[in-house]
Structure 1
C-alpha cells in the first residue's frame, strides 16, 4: 500500500512564532499501490521521475512572496505595542501600557477574523493569484499609512488595511503552493513520490516564513527604536512592496491552473456571505454603541466589540453544525470533542499572545539589554520565537515520526502544550519578582521563557491543525478549519481583556496567576483525556 495525500486549504497563521501554527499537515488516506508494469512502462516513466525530482519552478516565486509578506507583518508587529505605548514626545501615541497591549491583542484577533471573508473571496470570486495581488496591495497601503505621522485615527485605519489585506493574501499563498503540485500530478504517477515532494516543498516554503519573521524585528526594530517609529513601519511597507512586485513580475512562472480566476460564487452564496458580514458589523456596532453609552472610551468600545464578536461567531458556528440535519452519532460525538479542543486552544493563545505585548513592554522597562556596551532594541527579542521555531521544528517532526504509535495522544499533546506554556509564564513571574526592586534583570529570563513557550507551541499548534482535519465531518471540513483559527482570534481578544489586571497586580503576580491557570488547564485536559478520546471516536 502507498499513501496518497489529500490537501486541505491552509489558513493564516495563528500564534505564529514563524507562522508555526500555519503549517500544512495533510491527511493521509490509503490507496492501492500501482505495482504492475513491464520494462517498457518503466522506461516510459523514468524520464518523468527525473523531471519530477525537481520542485515546480513557481515555488521560488511563492517562497519569496511569503517571506517578504511575513517580513512586513512581523516587522510591524514587533514595534506596534512599543509605538502605541511610547510617549508623544518620543513619537508614539502615549497609550497606557495595558491599553496598548489590549489594542495589540484585538489587532491579532481581527487578522484571524478577516481571514474568513478573505478566504471566501479567494475561493469563490478572485482566485488565489488575484487575491494575493489585491491582498498585497491593501497590505502595502496599510503599512504606508502607518509610515506617516497620522495620529491615532490614521493608525487605526492602517491597522485595518493590513488586517484586511492579510485576510486575503495569507490563505491564498499557501493554497497556491499546493496548486503547484496539483498542476503537475498525472494519472498513474507515483503517489508516494508525489507526497514526499509536496511535503518537501511545503517545508521549503515555510522556511521562508521563519526567515522573514526572524529578520523583520532586527531591521524594523532598529529603525523604529533608533531612528523613528514611522521609519520602522516604512521598512515593513517596503518589504510588502517587494513581495508584491515579485508576484507581478514572476507570475508567469506559475501554472495557469494556479493563476486562473474563479467565478464559483452563486447569487445565493453571495447574499449569504454579505448577510453574515453585515450581521457581524451590525453586532459590533451595537456593542460599540452600548459600550460608549456606559461611559467607556471609543478605544475601549472597539476592544469590547471585537472581543464579543470572537465569542459570538464560534458559538454560531458550533450551533449551526450541531443543528444540521443528517449528522450521524459519530460526527456529533467528534464535534463535542472539538468544543473542548477549541476552548483549550483559546486558553493557550490567550496567554501566548502576551509574548508580543506585555512581555515586550516588560523587556523595555525591566531587562538589561546591554551588549558589549551597546543597548540593543527591545523589539529584537521578538526574533527569538522564529529562531527557536527554525531550530526545533525539524527536531519535533523527527521525534513524532520515530515514536510512531507510541507518541502521545492529541489530548496528551494539548496537556503538554498548556503545561509548557504555564512553565514559561512562571519563568516570567520569576523575572517580574527579580525586577520588583526597580532594577533590570538578565535577558536570560526572556531567552528561557521564549524557548519553553515555543516548545509548548510545537506540541499544541501543529496537533490542533492536524486534529481539526481529522475530526471534521466531511460536509464541515472548511468550517472546522475556520474554527481553529477562530480559537486564535478568541485568544487574542481575551488577552486584551485580561491585560487590564496589570493595573492592579504587579508583573510577578500577573504572570504567576496566568502560569498557574495554564497549569490547571493542562491538568484538566490530562485528567479528561480518556473521556476526550472516547468522544473523538477513533481519532487519536
Structure 2
C-alpha cells in the first residue's frame, strides 16, 4: 500500500458534525460505548455466574477459583492488546482490527449466552480476550487519526471519547445485573446485543464518517516476512494444541497451573520490556535515566491496580454476600455496584482537570501524584474493613460503606491513571514510544496476575486481616514514594 500522508487522512474525514468535532468521532464514540457496554455488562455478572450453583443458573465453580479466573482474564485482556496493536500495525490496519475484534467479542458473549459447560465458558473467554485485544487499543488510535496534530479540538475530542467509555460502563451493570436476576444468559445476551449494535454502527457510518482513517497498514509485512510470520504462527498454534492435548488429560494443565503460568508471564513481560529498552543502543543516556525514574512509578501503578481491580472480584463478592441488598425500600442487585467506578469518574474527572489547571506550577510533581493515588487506594481498603471490625464479619453491612470504598479508590485513580498516561508519553525513549505505552498497560496486567494469587487468601474469617494488610502496605509504599519523589524527579531530567 502506498503511504498516505496524515493530512490526507484528516482531509478525508468530514471535520464538522458531532458537537463541533469530526463526524468520525460519532462513529468511534458509539463503537466504544457499545463495546464497553458489552464488556462491563458481562464483567459485572461473570463472577457470580462462575461461583453460583448450577441450580441457581451458574457453573458451580469454587469461589476462590472463580476470583482467580476473573483476575487472570483481566490480565490477559491487557496482554492481548500488545498482539492487537502489532496485528494492526503490520497486517490488518486499525479499522479492520476493530471490526474483527468486535466480531470475536460478540461471538464470545453469544457463547456465554448459551447454557452450556465449563468448556464453552473458556471458549468464550478466549474469544473475548482476543477480540478486546484487537479492538480496544486500535479504536483509540483511530480517534487520533481524525484530527491533525495541531488541531486544538484534539484533547477535547479524546475527552468526549473517554466519556463514551464511562457512559457504557455505567449503564451496563444496571441492565445486565437486573436481567441476571432472571437468568445469567439473558444478561450475557444483552452484552452480545450491545456489541452487535456497535458493529452495525461502525459499518454503517464508518465509510462516510471516517474517510481513510485506520485504513493504512502503518508498517506492513513484506511477502517474505508474511511467510515467516504465518509459518511461525501455525507452528506455535500446533505446539500449543499438542501441549494442551497431552497435559490436560494427564492433569498437568489445570485451572490452578494455568493461573500460575499467566501470573509468571504478567511479571516477566514488563521486566523483559524494561531490560530491552534500557540496553538498546537506540536509547540515550538521558532516556535511560528517565527509564530508571519510570520504574518506581510502574511499581506504584501495579500496587494501585492490584487494589482497584479487586472491585470486580473481592468487592463484587463482598457486595453479594456481605452487604445489605434491601436498602431504603430498594432491592439492590450486587452487580449494580460495578457502575460506581465509572460513575464517580464521570463526575470527578472534570473537577480534577480543573484543579490541576488552577494549581498550575504549584501542582504536585508526577511522583507525588502517584503517591496520593496509592494513599487513596490503601485507604479504600481501610474503609471497607471498618464495618467488619465494628459489627463482626458475620453481619450484613450497610451498602454505603461499599459506596464509600469505591469513591475513595476513584480519588486515587484520578491522581494516578491519567497522570500515568501523560508521564509515559514524556518519559518514553523516542525509539520505543509505542512500546512504552504498551508497558504502561502491562502494569494493570501484572497487577491482575498478582491478584490471581492474592485473592486466594481472602475469606470471611480473615476479612479484616486481608483488607488491613493490603491497605497498610499501600499506605506505607505511598509514604516511601512521596519521600523519594525529589530523587525520582531528578532522574526525570527536566520532565515535570
TM-score normalised to structure 1 length:
0.83
Which residues of 2 match residues 193-342 of structure 1 at below 5 A?
Answer: 194-195=151-152, 197-224=153-180, 226-262=181-217, 264-267=219-222, 271=228, 298-342=254-298
Partner Cα distance (2:391, 2:316) in 1: 15
Partner Cα distance (1:524, 1:466) in 2: 22
Contact 1:86–1:93, Cα closer than 8 Å, also in 2? yes
What is the CA-CA distance between 1:275 and the residue it aligns to? 5.9
Residue matched to 2:484: 528
Q: Residues 244 and 53 (structure 1 numbering): CA distance in 2 closer, same or farther, change over 3 Å?
A: closer
Partner Cα distance (2:198, 2:60) in 1: 32
Partner Cα distance (1:287, 1:459) in 2: 43
Residue matched to 1:418: 374
Q: Residues 444 and 372 (structure 1 numbering): CA distance in 2 closer, same or farther, change over 3 Å?
A: closer
Contact 2:393–2:461, Cα closer than 8 Å, also in 1? no
Residue matched to 1:41: none
1:86 aligns with 2:52: yes
1:160 aligns with 2:126: yes
Partner Cα distance (1:283, 1:316) in 2: 22
SS state at 1:258 partner: coil
Residue matched to 2:354: 398
What is the CA-CA distance between 1:385 and the residue it aligns to? 0.6
> What is the count of residue pairs matched by the alignment?
482
Residue matched to 1:132: 98
Which residues of 2 match residues 332-481 of structure 1 at below 5 A?
Answer: 332-434=288-390, 436-481=392-437
Residue matched to 1:44: none
What is the CA-CA distance between 1:265 and the residue it aligns to? 2.4
Partner Cα distance (1:333, 1:280) in 2: 39
Contact 1:431–1:508, Cα closer than 8 Å, also in 2? no
Partner Cα distance (2:157, 2:403) in 1: 31
Partner Cα distance (1:475, 1:283) in 2: 33
Q: Residues 455 and 251 (structure 1 numbering): CA distance in 2 closer, same or farther, change over 3 Å?
A: same
* Deviation digits for residues 114-148 of structure 1 (CA, Å, limit 9, x no counterpart): 00010111122211211111111110000000111
Partner Cα distance (1:112, 1:273) in 2: 23
SS state at 1:227 partner: coil
* Deviation digits for residues 87-117 of structure 1 (CA, Å, limit 9, x no counterpart): 1111112222221111110000000000001
* Farther-moved stretch of structure 1 (90-99 vs 467-476): 90-99
Contact 1:346–1:490, Cα closer than 8 Å, also in 2? yes
* Farther-moved stretch of structure 1 (166-175 vs 502-511): 502-511
* Deviation digits for residues 419-474 of structure 1 (CA, Å, limit 9, x no counterpart): 00000011111133345352211111011101110010000111111111000111
What is the CA-CA distance between 1:263 and the residue it aligns to? 6.8
Partner Cα distance (1:253, 1:456) in 2: 40
Q: Residues 539 and 389 (structure 1 numbering): CA distance in 2 closer, same or farther, change over 3 Å?
A: same
Residue matched to 1:18: none
What is the CA-CA distance between 1:214 and the residue it aligns to? 0.2
SS state at 1:431 partner: helix
Residue matched to 1:181: 147
Partner Cα distance (1:449, 1:415) in 2: 18
What is the CA-CA distance between 1:292 and the residue it aligns to? 10
Q: Residues 290 and 415 (structure 1 numbering): CA distance in 2 closer, same or farther, change over 3 Å?
A: farther
What is the CA-CA distance between 1:260 and the residue it aligns to? 2.2
Partner Cα distance (1:138, 1:427) in 2: 39
Contact 1:84–1:95, Cα closer than 8 Å, also in 2? yes
* Farther-moved stretch of structure 1 (135-144 vs 529-538): 529-538
Q: Residues 245 and 117 (structure 1 numbering): CA distance in 2 closer, same or farther, change over 3 Å?
A: same
SS state at 1:528 partner: helix
Which ranges of structure 2 fall in alignment gaps of 5 or more residues?
Answer: 1-5, 7-13
Q: Residues 497 and 202 (structure 1 numbering): CA distance in 2 closer, same or farther, change over 3 Å?
A: same
What is the CA-CA distance between 1:535 and the residue it aligns to? 1.3
* Deviation digits for residues 231-270 of structure 1 (CA, Å, limit 9, x no counterpart): 1111100000000011111122334321524273234766
Contact 2:15–2:23, Cα closer than 8 Å, also in 1? no
Q: Residues 290 and 319 (structure 1 numbering): CA distance in 2 closer, same or farther, change over 3 Å?
A: farther
Contact 1:287–1:301, Cα closer than 8 Å, also in 2? no
What is the CA-CA distance between 1:305 and the residue it aligns to? 1.1
Residue matched to 1:98: 64
* Deviation digits for residues 280-322 of structure 1 (CA, Å, limit 9, x no counterpart): 99799989999998x7771101111111111111121112112
Q: Residues 422 and 109 (structure 1 numbering): CA distance in 2 closer, same or farther, change over 3 Å?
A: same
SS state at 2:60 partner: coil
SS state at 2:141 partner: helix
